[in-house]
Amino acid sequence: MGKKRKMPGLNTSSTADISFMLLIFFLVTTSMDTDAGLSRTLPKPPEEDQLNNEIKVKVRNILNIRINKDNYLMIGNDYVALEDVKPRAKEFIQNPENRPDLPELKEHDCKLLGKRMVTENHVISVQTDRGTSYGVYFQVQDQLVAAYNELRDELSKQEFGVNHYDQLSKEQQEAIREVYPQKISEAEPKQYGKAL
Amino acid sequence: MSRFNKNGGREMPELNTSSLPDLIFSVLFFFMMVTSMREVTLMVKFDRPAGTQLEKLARKSCTSFIYVGKPTEQYRSQFGEGTRIQINDKYAEVNEIYDFIMSDRAEMPESDKPFYTVSIKADHQTPMGIITDVKQVMRKAYALKMVYSATKRQDNN
């Protein structure tokens, strides 16, 4: 047939503008803040028939941290400051001198690390009053996690020559977790000093 | 002298902008990916506690948020000064959290359900009683993974 007609090029100069508008829309709506926090696992809800036979834990295996409505801290029977929580918790978790008032050491066959004495039954329990402020509670939790992290870092340096627990391989992390399992109880609080 | 004085001799060649849309499209797609459209308008004011040992939230898509704090200025006359709980776009009572968790988790694909987490974004002055009540409801709803949301504090003490 006749001459071949050339398709005229589509004018695409406005595509940039359109996509700019979309881009700006998404820029504005995006929230880039990554959420961070302390993660915890709550215990399962109590079953009906289970209410009466609570799990018995030996007294020496519990570290009771109590916070009253005026935000005073108590560990065991002494009033302490927030800075004392971490060293006390570290001592409690580790029980380096095998003291009878700290959690019992049991021989545990750990992966990679062989047989070790571990305070595997220890529990740290934080009890609060209804009037305790959340900020203080959070600081205590943070200090407890810090205690665990420091112990784990120390052990990973000692055993694997790596300064930080996070930098170890999965298997090594597991081994260290067996020595220092994180046991912070999220049990329900008792109301022992009513807020006014 | 005339070599510096060319009038209208050469014109600046026009810049080729044909790849500009492609460039912008790729940036656009990036932002489309990272955007989460489920943002809620905050009706409570909360100043989260600061911590040093924080972990990043792994999967934002599997997380429900519960906000706890005092009502913001515009709602204060209506709802008072007391600490309130906000879920989605409204104030809620503690027992409503149960339904909220159940419906939120039901919408999730089956593969994500084991990773379902509840993040509590609470003001640091909130009395623990409220937080405890929320936690008890979460236990009842079997939402056992939780995060105490916080901001990062730089110093190491």
User: What is the ipTM for the molecules in this complex?
Assistant: 0.74
Residue B110: is it exposed, middle or buried by C-beta count within 10 angstroms (0-12/13-18/19+)? exposed
Alpha-carbon span A193 to B128, nearest angstrom: 13
pLDDT of residue A42: 83
Q: Please judge whether A138 and B56 are an interchain contact, meaning their C-beta atoms are less than 8 angstroms apart.
A: no
Find which of A134, A138, A166, A186 to mutate to test the B interface (most B CBs within 10 Å of its CB): A134
Q: How confident is the model at residue A12 (pLDDT cuts 50, 70, 90)?
A: confident
- Per-range mean pLDDT, top range of A24-33, A105-114, B96-105: B96-105
Quote the CA–CA distance of B72 and A35 in Å, as a whole number.
Answer: 21
Cβ-based contacts of A13 with chain B (< 8 Å): 17
Residue in the structure block whose two tokens are 């409204």: B90
How far is the CA of B16 from the CAs of A7, A13, B57, B143, in angstroms?
A: 21, 11, 44, 56
pLDDT value for A194: 43
Q: Do B39 and A31 touch (CB under 8 A)?
A: yes
Mean pLDDT of A81-95: 86
Q: What is the DSSP letter of A120?
A: T
The whole-number pLDDT of residue A196 equals 36
Region B112-134: mean pLDDT is: 88
DSSP B53: S
- Restricting to A residues 134-193, those with a Cβ less than 8 Å away from any Cβ of B are 134-135, 137-139, 141-142, 145-146, 149, 186, 188-189
Largest alpha-carbon pair distance within chain B? 91
Sheet strands (E) in B11-111: 44-45, 50-51, 55-56, 63-71, 84-87, 90-92
Q: Which two tokens stand for residue B18?
A: 């044909």
pTM: predicted TM-score of the whole model, two decimal places = 0.75
Of all residues in chain A, the one with the smallest CA distance to B147 is A39
User: Which of B123, B128, B150 has its CB closest to that of A38?
Assistant: B150
Range of A112-116, A118-122, A184-188 with top mean pLDDT:
A118-122
Q: What is the pLDDT of residue B157?
A: 44
